[in-house]
Chains A and B, each alone.
Chain A
């Protein structure tokens, strides 16, 4: 654990006026983009990363965390009002949220979603703050052989969990690692796969790949859908017809959901700490667990407040827990965490266990910003419910061209030229091809982000083992992880 004065200084760095401003702006943007079906916080984070290049690292990362946190609640708005989840994470929220809104109580449904989201998120952040540093301490005891085995284990888990085929997941992993080999070889400094372009000597830009595969591909897909459909029919938002009591959530109503909140938070934290699983899985798992209990006067699926609390607490609790493997061992557990890696890296910070030694103040500043973002999420959400009910009807024909230009400009700024923009375009096309053929894009990106570390660990391991696989007997933890990787692959084969 870092000294207490460093921890307090980190929190103090976050709790400044500028820190608060960036968190609020992030939360507002997150709630807006979450409320617009099809945009979502991941696309917004990907687009925003290049624009944070000039900011202080703490403010930049706080801003991105604000977008992510705001986006998770924002996605519940169209799910509740129109039965159209802003992102897949909120799909389970629509099960009880939309019927409650249809019964004339949309604001009650939105408020319980907001309170549950903030509750789950805060619980998750507290676990992150308590768990990440000890995990990092443990990770620092590991040598290159153990790190290599851990990376292989993470690839096996992510390949098995994400997507519908383990083989396709492993192909995506290998392809991601292959893309990471572009650029100067880390051992001897000779260029690889540069095809005559000196711009590739530094490797393929992380930001260009992330923006291309996560944001630009989705923009192209939605533009094409608009072209095909000509006019996208949007259902009308459910109107508020109940009285003042039907707008509010009383303390008694909130406390009546305590079991769902606790269970949802625990499920979300557990799912978030594992690489590969995401908020959507946590929300549905929590809802399924809740449905086994007595629903009370309102049946499940017909506007039960506890159903909304269960899903929102779970999907939001994933956010903080996702950062446990990222900050503890340097492995991103989700796309949002992978995007945060690129944000760290464009500011010259290498994520991983060493962060708690070299950048402890920044990390505790980030924790402070995360807790502050939860409070901002609550306040902004409460104040803006009516506004977000209007935002859900925003025309895609205005938003998508703006996002398209923002992607191009953002990548141009981060890569310092149009070469990066062309890489982004190629990454977008690759992402669309992978999606159409069923290869998981998220696995590809995580492997690409970890590629450099993988090669370095492999190189060091070969030297330590002197090229002899039998020498692994002297590294029982690594051996155990490699056996576990094989077992995971066999268990998850589809």
Chain B
């Protein structure tokens, strides 16, 4: 695919990619610093005996991340496919939909929330045919409910 681009476009892509890697590296560094300065002191007990204290490995890893983040800023890679994770906004909407579904399951239970979530997911994926929507909204949650509660004998939310 890259071969079909003009040299100018290829250069632009490369510059953008290395720029993104530098930003990623800087964010990793910021995360590592935050971990060292704020999170580890707050979330991990200090102990002053033994070779391996609770903070030893987290601190080693924080330093490692700091160094590697700096290396990524200095030596960015030239190959990255930002589209590999799918279109950002629809993926975020999908994640929000799933999160809403899980929240609803906690509030109203599987029996009410699962059909709505399955139906919403099918509509979100582009399905518009009523028989398929009905199958997704009713048959799929019913089959999962039967599998879990009847066959496996386990409760659902």
Residues of chain A whose beta carbon lies under 8 Å from any beta carbon of chain B: 51, 54, 164-165, 167-168, 170-171, 174-175, 177-178, 181, 185, 187-188, 190-195, 216-217, 220-232, 395-398, 400-402, 404-406, 408-409, 412-413, 418, 421-422, 425, 428-429, 432-433, 435-439, 455, 458-459, 462-463, 467, 494
Name B101-151 residues within 8 Å CB distance of A.
101-102, 105-106, 110, 114, 117-119, 121-122, 124-127, 132, 135-136, 140-141, 143-144, 147-148
List the B side residues contacting A231 at CB < 8 Å: 126
CB nearest to B153 among chain A residues: A54
B57 to chain A, nearest CB (A): 5
Give 27 CB contacts A-B under 8 Å. A164-B80, A165-B72, A174-B65, A174-B68, A185-B54, A187-B53, A190-B45, A192-B43, A192-B45, A193-B39, A193-B43, A220-B98, A221-B85, A226-B125, A227-B93, A227-B126, A228-B87, A230-B126, A232-B126, A398-B127, A400-B121, A401-B119, A408-B98, A413-B152, A429-B95, A435-B85, A467-B51
B15 within 8 A of A: no
Q: Are A459 and B52 in contact (CB under 8 A)?
A: yes
Interface 1/0s, chain B 46-71, versus A by CB < 8 A? 01001111100110011011001101
CA of A181 to CA of B20, assembled, Å: 29
Q: Are A405 and B68 in contact (CB under 8 A)?
A: no
Tally of A-B Cβ pairs under 8 angstroms: 214
Given contacts A192-B44, A402-B140, A406-B144, contact A425 B95 (CB under 8 A): yes
Q: Are A435 and B84 in contact (CB under 8 A)?
A: yes
Other-chain contact of A224, B51, B87, B156 (Cβ < 8 Å): B87
Q: Are A405 and B141 in contact (CB under 8 A)?
A: yes
B34 to chain A, nearest CB (A): 12
Given contacts A194-B43, A463-B51, contact A408 B101 (CB under 8 A): yes
Q: Are A225 and B86 in contact (CB under 8 A)?
A: yes
CB nearest to A463 among chain B residues: B51
Supply 8 further A-B pairs (C-beta < 8 A) apart from A192-B43, A401-B140.
A165-B79, A168-B77, A175-B65, A188-B53, A220-B98, A409-B110, A432-B85, A438-B80
CB nearest to A493 among chain B residues: B75
List the A side residues contacting B119 at CB < 8 Å: 401
Q: Are B86 and A432 in contact (CB under 8 A)?
A: yes
B90 within 8 A of A: yes
Given contacts A224-B90, A409-B156, contact A438 B127 (CB under 8 A): no
B71 to chain A, nearest CB (A): 5
CA of A130 to CA of B24, assembled, Å: 45
Q: Are A408 and B125 in contact (CB under 8 A)?
A: no
Q: Are B54 and A187 in contact (CB under 8 A)?
A: yes
Q: Are B54 and A192 in contact (CB under 8 A)?
A: yes
Q: Are A436 and B57 in contact (CB under 8 A)?
A: no
CB nearest to B23 among chain A residues: A437
Q: Are B58 and A192 in contact (CB under 8 A)?
A: yes
List the B side residues contacting A397 at CB < 8 Å: 122, 125-127, 132, 136
CA of A494 to CA of B75, assembled, Å: 9
Q: Are A216 and B98 in contact (CB under 8 A)?
A: yes
List the B side residues contacting A187 at CB < 8 Å: 50, 52-54
List the B side residues contacting A191 at CB < 8 Å: 45
Other-chain contact of B132, A223, A230, A395 (Cβ < 8 Å): A395
Q: Are B51 and A405 in contact (CB under 8 A)?
A: no
B131 to chain A, nearest CB (A): 10
CA of A408 to CA of B99, assembled, Å: 10
Q: Are A177 and B61 in contact (CB under 8 A)?
A: yes
CA of A43 to CA of B139, assembled, Å: 22
List the A side residues contacting B37 at CB < 8 Å: none
Q: Are A494 and B94 in contact (CB under 8 A)?
A: no
List the A side residues contacting B69 at CB < 8 Å: 171
CB nearest to A402 among chain B residues: B140
Q: Are A428 and B77 in contact (CB under 8 A)?
A: no
Given contacts A165-B77, A192-B54, contact A398 B122 (CB under 8 A): yes
CB nearest to A434 among chain B residues: B85
Other-chain contact of B124, A223, A229, A409, A429 (Cβ < 8 Å): A223
Other-chain contact of A171, B65, B81, B110, B147 (Cβ < 8 Å): B65
CB nearest to A395 among chain B residues: B132
